[in-house]
Chains A and B, each alone.
Chain A
Amino acid sequence: MAPENNGTSFRVLDPTATQSIATDGMAERPESLAGMRVGLLRNDKLNSEPLLDAIYDVLAERFDLSSAYRVNKGDASRPAEPEFLSDFSNEVDVALLANGD
């Protein structure tokens, strides 16, 4: 039940902040995965590896993939370093990420 007006009206302030969120947009989607080098980027969580492997196996049944490139960014709580991502992107055509708690 809403409380009744119990006094003179007054103004109060919004405690939230609108944070600008940087976005680079979505990467261009490939027409097909055939011949692609697939990057599997783990986040250091125990189950991220089997999850990515399972997805890779499903994709490999449907597409003639070139290779899998497995890396671990080593810390689930922080973004990967730019140099790490740069090296990773040089080795792959498409990438899969997983958070496997």
Chain B
Amino acid sequence: MTNVPRLTSNSIEVPGALQAIETYFEKGWSDGLPVVPPTPEAVSATLEAANLSPDAILGIEPVKGAVITAEKAAINAVMAGCKPEYMRVVAAAVDAITAPEFNLHGITVSTMGAAILLVINGPIAKELEINSGVSAFGPGHRANATIGRAIRLIVMNVLGTRSDEGLDKATLGHPGKYSWCIAENERGLPDNWEPMHVTRGLGESESSVTVFSGLSGAQFGDHASNTPEGILYSFAERIYPLGLGVHEVILVICPEHAAHFDEAGWTKQQIGQYLFDTIRKPESEWVPNGLPSGIKNGGEGDVSSLQSPESVIPIVVGGDGGAWSAVIPTWSLGSRSKAVTRKIKSNG
């Protein structure tokens, strides 16, 4: 092998693969699941696949000033089970989560217990076989499982944000903190909808990762509605309990529901405007938490739960069968953590 990048991390000798796995458990370097032993050869191959020098800085966590180098990110990516070609996505995701507006420190140490949701757009989703379809949030797809896991391991190992003896103080947390990575189902988009990354300013032929500080989602079935208004009533019922001041909330729209928006010719912008106009009550009827649901259809002077029509971020996700969609709130209702999109560099 020529031009092997020089790695500077400390190394330890282990007598075999199983012993290596146990060593990482004992040192507190795992997420509770076995890791792939990160040999220098595997880490170098991962860096090379993304054209990254080991000392390249992928991101700096703004509050603590903690540096995430390509070498440390790659070590954790190998441990997570990533193929070398996934490293481009991991690198872009590290760039995204360290953007000041994402507030990585706040979302990872808070009792609110947010996870980091990665949503991939563009050609790379197909290239890397990142699942966007049947059981998109479920197991069984290496790219989804390991890219999301790599980001969590980086947060735990490089930033020290662990729940055992570190900074993670989440009251409940949720399973997305192990791994949470999907692609948008661009095939299921209505004809007049652009993919999320295009809405957020990138070109359709580009690939991207968008990071969200996602809380546990609320899935619902609405097999009866076949109009935008009917489906959005079901979404609104899940947004009401969030209360006032929703700056960002993710609408996970399944393809069957998306088809009804397509048939009616509704745009994403219309969805945001409709919900902004509809999820309203007199200010006196809103309470900070535990809000009972109930659409009032917004009388004169009523206050919207949403800060603006742009507060809702619709994405199409999931398998073709079934009318199951979901609302995923974000940490601080998005007031102190904003979704961040970063282009994934091509290797060409």
Contacts and interface: CB of A to CB of B under 8 A. Distances in A.
B16 A3 contact: yes
Interface string A17-45: 10111100000000000000000000000
B157 interface: yes
A77 B110 contact: yes
A9 interface: yes
A14 to B, nearest CB: 4
A1 B170 CA distance: 31
A13 B19 contact: no
A11 B39 contact: yes
B19 A11 contact: no
B157 A16 contact: yes
A78 B63 contact: yes
Interface residues of B, number: 48
A6 interface: yes
Given A11-B11, A78-B63, A101-B111, A16 B158 contact: yes
B149 interface: no
A79 B63 contact: yes
A6 B19 contact: yes
Interface string B145-183: 000000001000111100000000000000000000000
B336 A11 contact: no
Nearest to A2: B22
A14 B12 contact: yes
A57 interface: no
A12 B75 CA distance: 9
A3 to B, nearest CB: 4
A7 B16 contact: yes
B1 interface: no
B2 interface: no
Interface string B63-80: 111111100100110010
A93 B290 CA distance: 42
Nearest to A22: B65
B13 interface: yes
Interface in A46-97: 75-79
Contacts of A12: 11-12, 14, 20, 23-24, 37-39
B29 interface: yes
Contacts of B69: 17
Interface of B: 7, 9-24, 29, 37-40, 43, 63-69, 72, 75-76, 79, 103, 105-107, 109-111, 153, 157-160, 332, 336
Interface of A: 2-17, 19-22, 75-79, 101
10 contacts: A3-B18, A4-B18, A5-B15, A7-B15, A14-B10, A14-B75, A15-B38, A17-B68, A17-B69, A17-B72
Q: What are the 3 closest A-B residue pairs judged by CB atoms, nearest first?
A: A77-B106, A3-B18, A6-B16
